[in-house]
Structure 1
Amino acid sequence: MKSSFPKGRSLSATPIRLAVVALVAGMGSAHAQTDTATQNQNAPAQQQSANSTVIPEVVVTATKRSTSLQRTPVAITALNAAALEDAHVQTILDAVNLVPSFQATGQGDHGVITMTLRGIGNDSAKTEYADPEVAMFVDGIYTPRPEGATALLFDLDAIEVLRGPQGTLWGRNSTVGAVNMQTVKPVLGKTSGSAEMGLGDYRRFGARGAFNVPLSDNSAMRVAFVHEQHDGYTDYQTFTAPSLASQRAAWAASGGNPAAFQPLNPNLFVNSGPKYNAQDQTAVRLSFLYQPTPALRWNISYERYADRGTPSMNLLQTPRAGTDLWSTLSDVAPSVRRDVDSVRSRLEYNIDPSMQLTYVAGWSRFDGEGTFDQDGGATIPTSFATGATYQADNTVNAHYTNYSHEVQLQSLGERELDWQLGVYYAAENNAMRFDIPIFNGTQQGTVGWQGSFIQPKETVDSRAAFGQATWNMGAAHLTAGARYTRDERKNIGGNGYTWNYDATVPQVPLSSHIDPRIPGQGYNPSVPSNDGRYTGSKWTGLLRASYDIDLNNMVYASISTGYKSGGLQDGGRPYGDETLRNYEIGSKSTFLGGALRWNNALYYEDFKDFQFSAPVTNPDGSHTLATNNADGAKVYGLESELAARLTPEDRLQLSFAWTHTKLGTLFGGSNDYTLPACSIPGVTTCLDVTGHEMPHAPRFSAQVMYQHVFNLADGAQLTPRISTHYETASWLSVFNLGDGDRQKAYTRTDLGLRYQASKAWWADVFVRNVSNTNVKTSAMNSFGPWMAQYLPPRTVGINAGIEF
């Protein structure tokens, strides 16, 4: 994202005048949460700087070429580095309130972020078993494992959130949208840098920095690093065992043999060490630029990311007497180890002034493991084997490797016909082992069920060719594009191994020290195995017309299609692909000489064969992650954003979204919920969710940000700001099961106060979630009481930094 100060006329901008203009403004489509620009780009620099009420321009890459956001007929929210810093955005979870129709959660055992856009997402898209509907890209490279730059958002030039299908140009799994992150690139001939440090409650400590170093006249290097840590938000409850007489009575009442009785061991419960909901993440990026001639430019970077935090915890929505919400009775110590190495490369060559050839390549490797208390201490054991359920979700190992290659050929400059062509290839090779031990009472007790899912080799092979052209006919523009994608997936050698209740084998929780594939360990392989092969292909396309009413107003209409490949699930069973047709109209408008922007988009999405994934129990008692295709889903809504410079010192931003969702025919099952017996063969429990609302899709949401700059002596500035987010109630699953499965309407407010010294150093004090509002991001009741995961509680901190 690049900023400049385009031409504009200085007009008095009173709140009354702004309101009148807003009421008569037309609809607009491409949205910028940060400051965007007027279209009069040829004004002298002195005139631009004199008009401090003009909102600076934002240049985006949504069409895989650099264009002004206000002239790009795509629904986009663009967040530059300054906006991310002002909002203290560290992860995608922090950015969702800044983007209309955008939701994200960091769920449970894997701690991987899953995203929802315009009411559509997949909460199970945190392993190789399910793909997201919202694709993540870093420097234009698809990132199937959202870690590294996507986890910490460090040293970024911009984040662009593209709403609506982006399959024609962006490709894989961008069914309802895409998020593209642009890292800061090295600059030739310039030595510069910045450093920042921060402290906060929960023993928060953060540090980050970046340094640009010229290596020669035609090469440069940039080094960026970040570290963020804080203690966990979730305290441990102390376990108090019932009397021995009470324990014996409970064991006897369950039919247990008195001779097999064991007293409860309080040491099985965690009361020290790392807490759940803790952060401990570090990343470093080394970037190089080599530009031997004006026509040839090569950017390449290596990034290393390490996570040693802990997962988010399932907490009782109604705490037990004497406890608070942010506490748990846990018998599984939390742990996370995630390491990601990534290489990203972009080579650009201008064949001549009218044509550019680009080669984009990426490679990444993910390695991880973790432990998680799935039952969350939902109930208290009455004996060593009664009154509660012990369940751990343990990622013993996970190894994912992916790489991609894309070649683009496109026109340059202003032409009657703008065009681009491309070919794309991507591959993944994934392996994992995931254990679920479930015991009655405690881990001392008897086996309820336990199993291991071992997938030594799962591959993805995706190939595509695409093209897009725009005919520029004066003020009218007509765009057409198409993409052909072919996907192949293979599961090789994978299987589930289930406890066989062999009385000669000791009943101990499954752990990494036990290999269930070896006979005599107490486990049988599932029949059939997970081996299988899936192939599928699809044409997707785009047809869009836009019209420039004048320099400051544009309207557009588009029809686009999205596609997400089908695949394989446990047992080698295939599921079908998912398709979407999106209809959209909108416009973009600039008023008051560039001081006001108000942009909106109106859309209707028609899904076919929507993929629903969830963990289920089969009739034979085995557990699997199943994916089924719903008949479809209907989604429509309106998105709007307003950005205004009320005066040279006052900035206001307002966005809202109205969304309506309706699920098609689907009988859904999930082990996370208590559901009735299912009449469908092969499914134990399920619920008819036909016509239900989609999860994470509030009917209405709004965000307001206001800040004022106080100019102090010696050129210093003091800037207070307030940001408030409101949304109506929303469901947390497709089951729509009442208050426990619902986040009620809420408001969350963040405050900040920034001091900017005249000599490039600054300090920023912030309070996030001022009212300490508890906001649920997921829910479950499979262990009896309703439980949920939550956004962070109130946090307070200070950051200070210097630029040089």
Structure 2
Amino acid sequence: MTDRPFRRPRPGLATPVQIAVLALMTGAAYAQSTPAPAPAPQAENSPAATAADGKESKALPQVVVTATKRSTSLQKTPIAVTAISSSTLDDAHVTNMLDVFNLVPSMQGTGQGDHGIVSITMRGIGNDSAKTEYADPEVALFVDGVFAPRPEGAATMLFDLDGIEVLRGPQGTLWGRNSTVGTINMKTAKPVLKDNSGYVEGGVGSYNRMGVKGAINIPLGDTAAMRVAFIHEQHDGYVDYQKPTQYTLAQQQTAYAASNGGSLTGFQPINYNLFVTGGPKYNAQDQTAARLSFLWKPSEQFRWDVSVEQFADRGTPSMSLMQTPRSGEKLWSALIDTAPSLKRDSTSIRSRMEYDLGGMALAYVAGYTHFKGSGTYDQDFGVNMPTSFTTGATHQEDNTVWTSYRSQSHELTLQSTAKQTVDWVLGLYYAAEDNGIRFDIPIVNGTQQGTINWAGSFIQPKETVDSKAVFGQATWNVNDALHLTGGLRYTHDDRKNIGGRGWFWAANPNAPQIPLNATIDPTDPANGYTAGNINDAHYTGGKTTWLARATYDLSKTAMAYASVSTGYKSGGSGDGGLHYGPESLTNYEVGYKTTLWDGRMTFNVSAYHMKFRDFQFSAPVIVNGNRQFAYSNAEGAKVSGVEIESSLLVTNDDKLMVSAAYTKTKLGALVAASNDYALPVCFDAALGGNCLNVTGNELPHAPKFALQLMYEHTFPLSNGDTIAPRISFHYQTANWLSVFNLGDGDRQKAYSTADISLRYVSKKNWYVDAFVRNVSDEKIKTSAGSSGAFANAIWTAQYAAPRTFGVNAGYNF
């Protein structure tokens, strides 16, 4: 707990929230008595069913999903899909994608510090390097059916949602490019006609956490409605500042002379004020978002939903920490010589029009997003202590001077609606991106005062993506039990890098001998840089993906399915304009879903085998002394696994949820290199540099076994209020953190952790919710790296959040 006053958002951030709060307060003032929320559809119950306490037995709510581009019951949908309701998101205190991972089988993720993004792995497949303007993720992210192509979108706050659907396995036929191993669709809460309602919530917690969120639904006559939603979350950083060892002047001179042929010419004492010891810490949150949604429904046949969303981030990046802290220091601390900063703003417009043609429905979904940002990051992680101003360590920054990503997408679908012998959907799709970035890496010997070791400015002014697709899918309902589905999609991608350059330090003694920064124009020869990488490139390619599936209804409450489907991720080009090939896979899957005990239990299981061709691998490397981002295609990869999900109402007041996953991975032929790891000298002199043969290794972020349990008991009180304690438990076996499989430093050991909460709900529509996350304060590595000599590497890692706690209170009106 804290009595620290709420910190006002910075200028420029307050406006959308102030508008949202004003609308919320105005709506609350004239809102009528709160109507009870509409109950979720319930599964059919046996009339004779009774609970253990003698009361009529309840049933689990029937969950409806849109995984097949039409609304269907989760238990009747022949796809491995996890549906996370809005209440589950609230119970798990989910505010961003990092909070979702433990709720979905076979799903892992990590924050990537230098770009401030979130990378997602599903069924053992992901792309830790999907943090650049080049790379695409393997898991496609959608908001209301609108594709979010850049990974920065994965960190956008999750607020005022109806729910999240996570589809596992390739979804290329209906959901399109980059859904190689899965699709995540976040569904925002929509306006409701003729309804005055809303909510507001505020909270405090550890690390000076302060949060507020709310929403209000406002009717605009009989045929239109508006919804205003907002959120702000902030907390201090987890990473404390270490103080540098301050060597005497004589010690500094000795170290300097030893590296300078015994001479003290040019010597300077270390300016210890260059080390950061105050101000915002790494791993801090300061995020704000607001959404304005409109619904126009002039007739029963036509509906138009449109929303405008603004997101702003003024937090700090996640720091990689020394896995073995230096003597006397805590794990959550670092020697910092680059102050953290993060500035990210995005504006998104999303629209969906639907028209009922009678037996058919026409839908047009469109979206536009503009993201811009900048940031500074301490890439040397403070692993070494400088012994003089040019010795003992290196100073390295990763600075995003500017980014600008623009994307648009359009999808037109026509599908059958009335039940018929053949259910079908046809669609056209178009998406385009126009991306640019300047990313600087200054590396200096010793401290910022030292001599330039290497410096590069990667300026990509215009990288475009143009993707077109046509698709169709049909299900033949052979009889009431047997359903056969086939689908095809053809995608054509056109990608260009126009004017991209890597500007590198040319060791010109007449140029300013200062670290590269945003005020230096590397394109001006007087500043000492030369164009080392000419990145102009043009890539085109296309692919047909397909689906074949058979579904059989074993009874009214059980079904089984078997499918073969393919996935595709586009090829492209990297630094130097070098092309890499597309990635594709074939997925074989069987599944079984059933509802038991008069609707009180669901049990879903799926088993799969994925076989990849030309599996894409990307990493920063050194070529001819220059750093660049390189891509290669492994011979392939194989992934097999089993996933189980089950929900159970033990009694009317006791709910248990279980999910488990078994995953086995194997990488095909690949010789890999990466600047993020200390690797041995290449075994093949022709390859040069440092590398490792990783053929047959396990893939990262793929524990062989993972288990998630959630149990909640509701205590009804005599006055009509309720109190509900809840515990979530997660266990997973050890998993590698890179394809290199380099030992303990590159591995997260098996661990278990738990979250607990206690919610008090008043019949007068207010509630209080107290929670503790990561109760045992486990140190959970989510990615790793190493530096120095291979035999004596210093290991660093990104970590999941430490133990945190908080209290929220809210009111529904």
Shorter-chain TM-score: what band? Answer: over 0.9
What amino acid is aligned across from residue 629 of structure 2 in structure 1? L
**RMSD of Structure 2 on Structure 1 (CA):** 1.5
What's the CA shift string for 1:4-26, capped at 9, x where partnerless?
12321264678xxxxxxxxxxxx
1:510 aligns with one of 516, 520, 530: 516
Aligned partner (choices 43, 57, 66) of residue 6 of structure 1: 43
Q: Do the aligned residues in 2 keep the contact of 1:196 with 1:800 (CA within 8 Å)?
A: yes
Q: Quote the offset at 1:677 in angstroms.
A: 2.2
Q: Distance in 2 between matches of 1:701 and 1:389?
A: 39
Kept after mapping to 1: 8 A contact 2:723/2:758 = yes
Uncovered stretches (5+) of structure 1, i.e. residues with no partner: 15-48
Pick one of 549, 554, 571 that aligns with 1:549: 554
Q: 2:118 touches 2:154 (CA, 8 Å); kept in 1?
A: no
Where do 1:439-588 residues align within 5 Å?
439-473=444-478, 474-527=480-533, 529-588=534-593
Identity %: 59
Please give the secondary structure, in 2, of the residue aligned with 1:252: helix
SS at match of 2:101: helix
- Tell me the equivalent position of 2:275: 269
2:327 is paired with a residue whose SS is coil
What are the residue-to-residue correspondences of 1:214-363 with 2, within 5 Å?
A: 214-255=219-260, 257-352=263-358, 354-363=359-368
Which residue number in structure 2 is paired with residue 752 of structure 1? 757
Partner residue, 1:168: 173
- Which digits, 9 at most, give the CA deviation of each residue in 1:651-672, with x for residues without a partner? 0011110000000000111001
Shift of 1:707: 0.7
Q: What displacement does 1:440 show?
A: 1.1
Aligned equivalent of 1:178: 183
Name the CA distance, whole Å, in 2 between partners of 1:555 and 1:581. Answer: 20
1:797 aligns with 2:806: yes
**Contact in 2 for aligned 1:382/1:441 (Cα 8 Å):** yes
- Contact 1:233–1:277 (Cα < 8 Å) also in 2: yes
Is the CA contact (8 Å cut-off) linking 1:240 and 1:266 kept in structure 2?
A: no
Question: If the length of structure 1 is used for normalisation, what is the TM-score?
Answer: 0.94
CA contact (8 A) 2:51 2:57 kept: no
C-alpha deviation, 1:263, in angstroms: 0.5
Residue 128 (structure 1) aligns with: 133
Within a 5 Å distance, the mapping from 1:410-425 to structure 2 comes to 410-425=415-430
Deviation at 1:150, TM superposition (A): 5.6
| Distance in 1, Cα, partners of 2:55 & 2:620 | 60
Kept after mapping to 1: 8 A contact 2:567/2:584: yes
**Partners in 2 of 1:78 and 1:714 — Cα distance?**
33
- Residues in 1 aligned to 2:657 and 2:42: alpha-carbon distance in whole angstroms: 19
- Secondary structure of the 1:250 match is helix
8 Å CA contact 2:117–2:155 kept in 1: the answer is no
Give, as a single letter, the amino acid of the residue that structure 2 aligns with 1:421.
L
Give, in whole Å, the separation in 1 of the partners of 2:309 and 2:681: 49
SS at match of 1:715: coil
Corresponding residue of 2:113: 108
Instruction: Give 1:764's aligned amino acid.
Output: D
Contact persistence 1:298–1:348 (CA under 8 A)? yes
Counterpart amino acid of residue 210 in structure 2: F
Deviation string, structure 1 residues 304-358 (Cα, Å, up to 9, x no partner): 0000000000101011111100000000000000000000000001112x00000
**SS in structure 2 at match of 1:169:** helix
Check if 1:151 corresponds to 2:124.
Answer: no
The question of 1:376 aligning with 2:381 is answered yes
Unaligned runs of 5+ in 2: 1-37
Given that 2:51 and 2:652 are in contact with CA atoms closer than 8 Å, whether structure 1 keeps it comes out as: no
* Alpha-carbon distance between aligned partners in 2 of 1:175 and 1:421, rounded to the nearest angstrom: 21
**Post-superposition shift, 1:255?**
2.2
Amino acid corresponding to residue 797 of structure 1 in structure 2: G
Secondary structure at the aligned position of 2:100 is classed as: helix
In structure 2, the residue matched to 1:787 is 796
In the TM superposition, residue 50 of structure 1 has moved relative to its aligned partner by 7.5
Equivalent residue for 2:407? 402
Whole-Å separation in 2 of the counterparts to 1:661 and 1:500: 44
Aligned mates of 2:733, 2:155 — CA distance in 1 = 28
Q: C-alpha displacement at 1:151, in angstroms?
A: 2.1
Count of residues paired in the alignment: 768
Cα deviations across residues 11-66 of structure 1 (Å, max 9, x unaligned)?
4678xxxxxxxxxxxxxxxxxxxxxxxxxxxxxxxxxx974431110000000100
Local SS of the residue matching 1:159? strand
1:654 and 2:663 are equivalent in the alignment:
no
- Of the structure 1 ranges 501-510 and 147-156, higher mean CA displacement relative to structure 2 is found in 147-156
1:637 maps to 641
Report the CA distance between 1:507 and its aligned residue.
1.8
Any conservation in 2 of the 1:502–1:522 contact (CA below 8 Å)? yes
Whole-Å Cα distance in 1 between the matches of residues 422 and 685 of structure 2? 54
Q: Which residue of the partner structure matches residue 29 of structure 2?
A: none
| CA–CA separation in structure 2 for the residues paired with 1:81 and 1:597 | 19
What secondary structure sits across from 1:303 in the alignment? strand
- Specify the alignment match of 2:628 in structure 1: 624
Q: Does 1:695 align with 2:732?
A: no
Assess if the C-alpha contact under 8 Å between 2:431 and 2:468 holds in 1: yes
How far the C-alpha of 1:686 sits from its partner, in A, is: 1.1
The 8 Å contact of residues 206 and 229 in structure 1, kept in 2 or not, is answered as yes
Question: What CA distance in whole angstroms lies between the structure 2 residues aligned with 1:225 and 1:208?
Answer: 5
Q: Give yes or no for contact 1:617–1:683 (8 Å, CA) kept in 2.
A: no
Secondary structure of 1:168's partner? helix
**Most deviating of 462-471 and 148-157:** 148-157
Q: Given that residues 116 and 152 in structure 2 are in contact (C-alpha distance below 8 angstroms), is that contact kept between their aligned partners in structure 1?
A: no
Structure-2 change in CA distance of 1:11 and 1:2 (3 Å): closer
Structure 2 counterpart SS, 1:536: strand
Alpha-carbon shift at residue 149 of structure 1 (Å):
8.3
Q: What TM-score do the two structures reach when normalised by structure 2?
A: 0.93
Which of 586, 607, 619 is 1:602 aligned to? 607
Paired letter, 1:6:
A
Give the deviation of 1:725 after TM superposition.
0.2
Give the match's secondary structure for 1:216: coil
Q: How far apart are 1:681 and its partner, in Å? A: 4.5
For the residue of structure 2 that corresponds to 1:309, the secondary structure is coil
Question: 1:22 — aligned with what?
Answer: none
Output one character per residue of 1:666-711: Cα deviation in whole Å (capped at 9) or x when no partner.
0111001011222274652211000000000000000011010000
Q: Tell me, in whole angstroms, the C-alpha distance in 2 between the residues paired with 1:742 and 1:465.
A: 42
Distance 1:292 1:519, change over 3 A: same
3-state SS of the aligned residue for 1:132?
A: coil
Could you tell me which amino acid in structure 1 is paired with residue 431 of structure 2? Answer: A
Query: For 1:361 and 1:92, how far apart are their aligned partners in 2?
Result: 23
The answer for the alignment partner of 2:710 in structure 1 is: 705
Q: Partners of 2:152 and 2:304 in 1: how far apart?
A: 24
Q: Is the CA contact 2:428–2:469 (under 8 Å) kept in the aligned structure 1?
A: yes
Please give the per-residue CA displacement for 1:446-470, whole angstroms capped at 9, x wherever unaligned: 1111100000000000000000000
CA distance in 2, matches of 1:67, 1:351: 20
Other-structure match for 1:671: 675
Distance in 1, matches of 2:197 and 2:332, equals 43
